[in-house]
Each structure stands twice: as structure tokens, then as C-alpha cells.
A and B are shown apart, each in its own frame.
Chain A
Amino acid sequence: MPNVLMMVKVTIDGIEVEVEAGTSILNAARKIGGDAVPPAMCYYSKLPGTGGKCRTCLVEVAAGSTADPRPMPKLVASCSTPVQDGMVVNNKTSERVHNNRGGVVEFLLANHPLDCPICDQAGECHLQDLGYEHGSAKTRYEEERRTFDPIDIGNKIKLHMNRCILCYRCVFVANQLTENRVHGVLHRGEHAEISTFIEQAVENDFSGNMIDVCPVGALTDRTFRFKSRVWFLKPMDAERSCSKCCGKAVVWMFGNEIYRVTARKDKYGEVEDIDGKTAWLCNDCRFEHKSAADWNIAGPRVISRNSVISQGKYATSIEKPVKRIG
């Protein structure tokens, strides 16, 4: 007998959707799309175990299930709460969610340096988007901000701990994609920091993916630092044959020059699945191949995330492929 998956119905912001039992509220909302989707800073669907930490995806459960329609007393983290049949969830439609999410954003920004003008992540930063949507114009935080010195973890990656929101995504990358994790979270509470054991270099083939999963500007590409603002660059789908990874990437170009290489990301900022596998990039493709001749460039990439780069500038203009090498 084929395995029949149990389907359950859940209502999010008044829209009903049918999903497999065990799906999280967040993923059910992503099936609906649009405003029903709560923001997620720490959850990353491609990295099992992530989520639950940043609390920006808090939603209100107005009815637990058909069997037990009582509301849940606390707001729940939608990324780690599974749906039940008949569950009613309020996200965008709940004043309480809006207030508390604003509170979480305020906490995330409390010790954040707000150095967007000199941060390479600006323009594709999730915290920037979230601050724009939920933050207030003025901070109430009068205390001295917690600071760390930026450190180089290896010759390719820069760590700006000041900007970090401790989402733990990069730790999961290190656990799941690379051998011998050498970095993690040290200390606790307000003093917690991402670091390596005694500033060791993070050097293994897939460590560069830490940069892609980082929702803020804490981990940046040293080969791209201060080269250009991301919105001045043209993202192009490109491919090369690589023995270590799938070789499918996005190259960010200015004229005929490649400024940086990233993985292909979807509208939630997550690395896409290509042919059923998450298209993580190896460090060789990411850092060592910055010449247009290295890549087979397919065409402009539509960035569907709601941020500066996607404001229609490149999505509509038809660019000719720059160069094709067979």
C-alpha cells in the first residue's frame, strides 16, 4: 500500500490551506505566500534544527485544532510549532503579533551598530527589511552598545560580531556541511558571541556558505568587502562545472567584471534546491573564480525578495548574456 500522507487544514489570516501533518505554521504560511508569511531570521528550511531562536516569527494561535479549539495563551514561534487540523492562526491580522514582533525587532536592534552605510550586507539584509517594516524611527536604548572587534576568520571571511543577531545559522552550516566544525557560540547571555577557538581560520570547502545564510552583515565575503553596493551590481545566473559542488551560482557583475559570487537564493533568502538538492556552493567557485571567462552566464536573475535590489531595476530590463563559453 502506498504511504498516504495525512493532510490537515489550517487557516492563516483567514486563508485556508491544506498541508501535510507535521508541517510548521511558517511553512504552511509560505504555501499561502504574501502577507501571511511571518518573517524568519533564524529559521532556514535547508538546515534541519534551525529556528525558534530569533522570535520574529511569533504568531497568535486563535484556535489550537478542531479537537481542542482553545486558543494558545502565549504567542508561538511559527517556525517550530507544527500545525493541527482546524488550527486558526493570526499573523498580519493580529495587533498583538504586530506589537510583540516590533518588540523583538527592537531587541535585535538594541545592540546593533546600525552601520548600514558601511555594511556590505545593506540592500540584502533581512534585519534592514525587518527594521523598515516593524522598527520605530527612534531608539529607546540609551545604554552603551556591546562591541567586539571585527576579526578575520580565515582569509576569505570577515566576522563583525557587532552586527550579529545570534541566529545560529552559520553554526548549523558548519555542523551540517563541513567537516570538523571549528566555530560556535562562546559565552552566554548578552556576552554570547560567534567565534572560533582562539581565532582559528575557518577553512574547509563549504565554509563560505556561512556568508550566504547569515541574515545580517556579521559574516561577509572578504573578497568583496567595500567593492560595491549590491544594488549597483547585476545579478546573473551562471554555471561552471565543478567537482565539489553543483557549480550553479549567481554572479554579481558590473560591466563585464564579476564582483562576487553567491548561491542562488529564493524569496526567503534561502539557497534554492536544484535537481532535488540544495545548491550549496563550494569555496572554490565562490572565492576563486572571479573572471567572466570562468562562468557560463545564462541570463539575468530575478531577485524576488522584497528589498532594494529587487525594485524592478533589473527584473524588467532584458540583458544579453555577456559571454558564453561552451
Chain B
Amino acid sequence: MSERRIGVYICHCGGNISDYVDVKQVLEGIRKEPCVAIARTAVFTCSDATQQDIIKDIKEQNLDGLVVASCSPKLHLHTFRSVAERAGMNPYKYVHVNIREQCSWVHRDDKPSASRKAIRLVRGGIAKAGLMDPLQSFRIETIPKVLVIGAGIAGLRASLALADLGIGVYLIEKKQEPGGWVADMKSTFPNHRSGAGLIKGLVERVHAHEGITFFSGAELVEKSGSVGAFKALIRSGDEEPFSVDVGAMIVATGFDTYAVKEGEYGYGMEGVVTLPEFKAWIDTQPAGELVYNGRPIKTMAYVYCVGSRQAAQPDLEKPNKYCSRFCCSAAMHGAICASTLQPRVRQYHLFRDVRTYGKYETLYEDASRLGSVFLKFDGSAPPVVESNGNGLTVTVKDMLSAGEELEIDVDMVVLVTGMVARENKALNDVLKLPIGQDGFFNEIHPKLRPVETVIDGVFIAGTSQGPKTSSESVAAALSAVSKCAALLMKGYVELEPLVAQVNSDRCTGCAVCIESCPYSAINMIACDTGEVAYVNTSLCKGGGACVPVCPENAIDVLGYTDDQIESMIDAMAAEPLAEGAAT
């Protein structure tokens, strides 16, 4: 039995855990475990105050092991390793136990079962913590260059910000021209600035900046290496692919607009247009009479949430359940443009909810002030668009006038379409970034780590991550820039020491492990008894493919050794499930 002195902290996570897990019962269930020197609960273990309390406990109680049972390790593993380090404890003596995503949130319907499971999980963590060895992270030199993929507004802005910080940039764009969607826009919200002008200015600065190398018609075709030192193979046009060395990557590949199906809300009929089609049209209209396909446009209807907030339907293979965020504001802005060009134009907005959040609320106010009329419909009874011989008729049940059914004759119907994830299988295959249920790239955490991905050194920005306005895309791009800068400007990155290790006493030199390693990280070295396997720690990624192939059981990945894993198995298996049976 280990002689460790372990501190165990069980988090309420506000009520995210304690509403469904009896944290007091968990505390009592683990308090008497042999190595537990101190056990406490905390409302938020990640709060500064609790972190300070843990540091104090580690120092005062002379702890040499730490377990926090809280949310997913994806969120706070590093937080608590840092707590251990600040208290003078080796950070790799910390074990994180996930009792939120893998316990309280899953078993909300059965608190006693969730509580018993939490006890088993924490016991597993304590058992492992009792066997964790102190480890030192590895340092590798970082390459002060970044590959930015996509030269839309996010990619351009990120490239300039990086280059201004002295970080070299390779900016690649799949299309021949940089600029993305914004480059085609004449007026953008909220300030009616010209999108084309904005992009022109950015592109000029990019071309003039000596720290940025721009490749058009270029794609990433292969990625190797790891954080701080990637090798990226790029193909530009028909030329032979070439490789660049970079320390990090920013993926800013943008979005596609929702493709309305023929017949959906009358799409295909003359006068029914999508939001981008409307935008392209209104941007080219002179002041005065609005004309579309030779017809005067005097009355218009906007149908909101087309292709967004979709409910599951039998004929819809993959509904877009999310709100596209930008489209309410974009439609309001378009309506303001139309009213400004032709003050007599009548505009009806058929909405489910108006989500012109934050400062964009003024667009809603301005559109209303300029005469736009708003009619709220229920998502289950969407408006119907039909041809009436002369033009179009939109039928809608207005929820704000006691469900009155209204028929509105209009000259144009604007389908306010949202954003969808861009189809980019080839790039996805190279990057291997997780993709969310909405089809966009997934960040580690939308609030805590909003531009980081599970692939260290690969960041996401802009609408490749989800629907955003252009200013939000730029904010995300600059966030990714600051992450790259923090990573690369130090000159080195510290890598986890959780790599494979050979027990040379057991190794017979059969060399089976050498073939199993995809990184060529294992070599044979001479020793007194002949040759044994040796792991080059800077090449080893700690995946452990070599571990089960060893016929002598001579290899372990540090942090996942036989003792550590088997102690967890034993501890979690030993906990009886029945009520009151726990000791």
C-alpha cells in the first residue's frame, strides 16, 4: 500500500454536479481511503479562492498527491496541475476525475446511482494518484512561423496581427483571390462600411508585409510533426507540393451559405431570393425605384430562420438545429439599405425570434423606425410562399395578433438563410480536427478555450468554427493570434513527459516494438547483456502502440503504467454497487 498523503477535492460545480450527485456522500465514501490525508468539497474547485485553499493544504499538510473530482479533464486538467506546481508538488502527481460530463450530467435521473458511481470514479483516481511518479516535461524549440489556412477576413486579419508581432506567416487560400465572402459586399453592418473596401485594404497590407508569404489556389495536403514544429505540405495549383516548417496553424476556412432546396418556401419562383442573392442585388441598386429582373419592387417579405433552427423531420437527413446568429442582423441591415434607397418600399419581416443581440439591437430599432413591419410565426407553422399570377403571396399566421392568418402580396421574398459548415473533406482528413454536431470545427471549450482544438498547436478562427458576424470572426482570429504568440514567442514549448519507457531488465531485444512505432521513436542500444530497446522521448507521442506488442511486458507509457491502470481497475471494481454496501 502506498504511503502517499493525498488531498482529494470534490467539486459542486455550482450545482452542475451537486444537483445530481450527493457530494457529501462521495466525501464520506472516500474520506477513509488509506492514502487520503485530507478531503474536502468546494462549490467551485476551479475558483481562485479554492485554488489558494488547495495550495495552502498541500503546503501545510505536506501532501504528495492530489485528486480533484470535477468536470472533464479537457477543461481543468492543466488548471490543477498548475495548482500542484504552484504549491511545490510535481504536477504529474495530480489525477483528474471527471464526475460531471461522465457522471452527474448523464445520471440526472438517479442521484443515488450517480453518487455511488462518483465514489467509484474518485476511488479509481485516488488509487492512481497513490502511484503517480514525479515527471519532468520536455522542452522543444518552436519555429516562430504560423500557417494560416484561408484568406477571408479572419485569415487576413490573423496574418497581419501575427506578422506585426514578428511571427512569420504562410497564408494559403484555396481560391485564386483572397477576401472570402466579405470581399463581395458593398455595405456591411453595423456601420455600413464597404466590405470590399475593407478587404482591399487588408489585402494590400498583406501583400506589402514582408513577414507574410501568400499563396493563392493553394491547399494543405499533408501535416506532420507536432506542436511547435509542424511540417506542412502545400500544393499550389499544378506545381509540385512544397513543405514549410511552422510552429502552429490557424484554420480559418470559413462557411458556406445554406443551400435552399427547389420549392422550399417557393424558392425557384421568380422573385424568391436567398439572403446572399438579396445582398448582392441591393448592393447594386441605385437610390430611387428598386428594380429586380426589370420589375419594380414595392413590397417585400423576409422569411427568417431558413435553414436554421430546423426541427428533426423525416425528409431532413441532418437538420441544422443551431441558430446562425448573424442572419437577423444582416436582414435588418438589408432592410435599412432598401428603405434608405427607396423610403416608400413596404417591408414585412416574418420572424420566429429576433436575435439582433448586443449593439445590433439598434439595427432592429432603425428598421422599425424606417417602416418595417414584424410578424412572428411559430416554427411549426412556417409561412407559405405562392405565386399569385402577378407576383407572390405569402401566407403567415401571426402569433402577435392572436394567430390571425395574413396574406401578403409582395414583389420579392427574401429567404433569410443561415451559415452551414463548409464541405472540406480533404482538409479534414489532413487536420483530423474534431467536428461538432453542427458540422463546424469544434473548439475545446466555447468559453474557456474558444480557439484551441484537441490538436495542440492547431487553432480555429472565424466561421470555420460556427456562424459568426465578420467582427466576431476577427475577434476569434485575434484570439487565435494571441494563442499562437503565447506558444511561439517563448521560443520553446513544454511537452508532456507521458511517453513510452522501456524496462531494460525485462527487454530481450526482440525489436518487435520498433516496427510498431509510427514515429520511428524506438531504437536498439547496446547494454551489458546485448541490445535493448530505447525510446527517443522527443519523437515519442505517447500513443502506446508499442505497449501491447511487447511479449515481455517491458514497455509502459508513463502515466498509464501497469500499476497505475490496474490499481484503477481494482479500485473501481471493488466498489459495491448496492445501496449501503459501500464501506
A and B bound?
Answer: no
Binding site for B on A (CB under 8 A): none
